[in-house]
Amino acid sequence: MPETLIQAIKAEAARQGFVLAGVTTPDPPPHWNTYLTWLVEERHGQMAYLATERARLCRRDPSRLLPDCQSILVLGIPYPNPGPDAPEADSGSPQGHVAAYAWGEDYHLVLPERLKALVAFIEDRVGGPVANRWYTDTGPLLERDLAQRAGLGWIGKNTCLINPAIGSCFFLAEILLALDLEPDPPFPADRCGTCTRCIDACPTGCILPDRTIDARHCISYLTIENKGRIPPELRPSIGTWVFGCDICQMVCPWNRFAIRQADPAFAPRPEVAHPTLAVDMTLTPQDFNRKFRNSPIQRAKRRGYLRNVALALGNSRPDNILPALANALQDKEPLVRESAAWALENQNTCKK
Ligand code: SF4
Ligand code: SF4
């Protein structure tokens, strides 16, 4: 039987590393009202870009992003599965934890070329230009809703999209197309069942019953999107996470038993994935840029990352970290100095 267009597109997507691919329509996504409620409750914190009128309207009607949109191709590409065990932080030289999606190259740098190649393939197959827009979590789309409707998985209680074969450790990307493709059936079921492991394990209790997260208390938000001070009452809960948090994915049974097949582009750089806190506390701006070249950690900027490292040191115990913290009291960034002062104070308090 000859290969259909959509079969050819999915085969090409797989060649580009997208192990998941499905098609849906640009109809309004089912959880738009949940997203609106989330905004009204101000659970998006400082992420004002999520609450603009354009952001709200485009999420309700993806056709606003591409007026002739007929189909949305939703794609998934795996990053490393962090596994159930976080690196030890109580050794003589404590290590920080970094969310697994940030262990390798920045997906914002890796995925565009592949999406462009996929669009070129589609245009070649149909014999002419096809109006399109693509996104790698950069656009105003409720991408997990679209992914569920394209058959890629279900939205778990931890708010991640979960695929029964590969778990939840994958990036989503979308290509809006002015091309009529047969939609895939939606993913049929919620397979969380009675499990509540992610909710029970979340250190800050920020996973809400409507499958949203109160970002203001989520370690991922606090260590990446939040550009200022981290509220002192939340600092102990952050533990030694210095960029993001994987706890609600690490405890999920669907990740424990998932196929582990990260794309080579996202292979861990050991010094990035498991940083030695006392070493990273001393990074100069030049060191920071060198170490995190093409890394998602650039998003936190040096001052945000060193703020996180200082707090992680404050949550660690060995005495040999004190010189690094004392040195950070002289940092040119007030945010780093304030975090280092808290860390030293926290060390003293814990020893009393
Ligand atoms: S990323 Fe961490 S802090 Fe955020 S919801 Fe998951 S477990 Fe909780
Ligand atoms: S840990 Fe359990 S409840 Fe949470 S997302 Fe995974 S299966 Fe669902």
Domain map (residue ranges) of the chain: 5-79+99-177, 197-259+268-346
Q: Is 281 exposed, middle or buried (0-12, 13-18, 19+ CB in 10 A)?
A: buried
pLDDT at 89 over 50: no
Nearest ligand to the CA atom of 199: 2
Location of structure tokens 């191709």? 73
Length of the chain, in residues: 352
Average pLDDT of the residues in 168-181? 98
Location of structure tokens 């827009």? 133
pLDDT in tens, 241-255: 999 999 999 999 999
CA atoms lying within 13 Å on the CB side of residue 323: 4
Check if 245 has its Cβ closer than 6 Å to any atom of ligand 1: yes
Phi/psi at 54 (5° precision): -60, -45
Location of structure tokens 């990740």? 255
pLDDT in tens, 321-332: 889 999 999 999
- Give the DSSP letter of residue 104: S
Closest CA to 290 of 202, 199, 74, 280: 280
Q: For a pLDDT cut of 90, what percent of the chain falls above it?
A: 89
pLDDT at 55 over 70: yes
* Spatial contact of 79 and 108, defined as CB atoms under 8 Å apart: no
pLDDT at 257 over 70: yes
Helix (H) or strand (E) holding 213, with range, is none
Location of structure tokens 């209680």? 157
Our mutation pick for probing the ligand 2 site, out of 148, 154, 155, 157, counting the most ligand atoms within 8 A of Cβ, is 157
Measured CA to CA, the distance from residue 238 to residue 231 in angstroms comes to 11
Is 137 in the active site?
A: yes
Q: What is the mean pLDDT of the chain?
A: 94
Token pair recorded at residue 178 = 């002015």
Q: How far is the CA of 248 from the centre of ligand 2 (A)?
A: 8
Task: Write the CB contacts of 105 (distance below 8 Å, at least 6 apart in sequence).
Answer: 265, 266, 294, 295
pLDDT at 351 over 80: no
**Considering 137, 200, 210, 287, which one is annotated as catalytic?**
137
Measured CA to CA, the distance from residue 59 to residue 339 in angstroms comes to 37
Nearest CA to ligand 2 atom 8: 192
Measured CA to CA, the distance from residue 308 to residue 223 in angstroms comes to 6
CA atoms lying within 13 Å on the CB side of residue 44: 15
Which atom of ligand 1 is the closest one to the Cα of 159? Answer: 5
Measured CA to CA, the distance from residue 317 to residue 348 in angstroms comes to 10
Average pLDDT of the residues in 174-180? 98
* Spatial contact of 243 and 297, defined as CB atoms under 8 Å apart: yes
pLDDT at 188 over 50: yes
Count of helices and strands (H, E) across the chain:
16, 8
Q: How far is the CA of 219 from the centre of ligand 1 (A)?
A: 6
Alpha-helix runs per DSSP H in the chain: 5-15, 32-40, 53-60, 107-126, 143-149, 197-201, 219-220, 235-238, 247-250, 253-256, 270-273, 277-280, 285-291, 301-314, 322-328, 334-351
CA atoms lying within 13 Å on the CB side of residue 108: 11
Helix (H) or strand (E) holding 172, with range, is strand 170-177
Token pair recorded at residue 205 = 């209790």
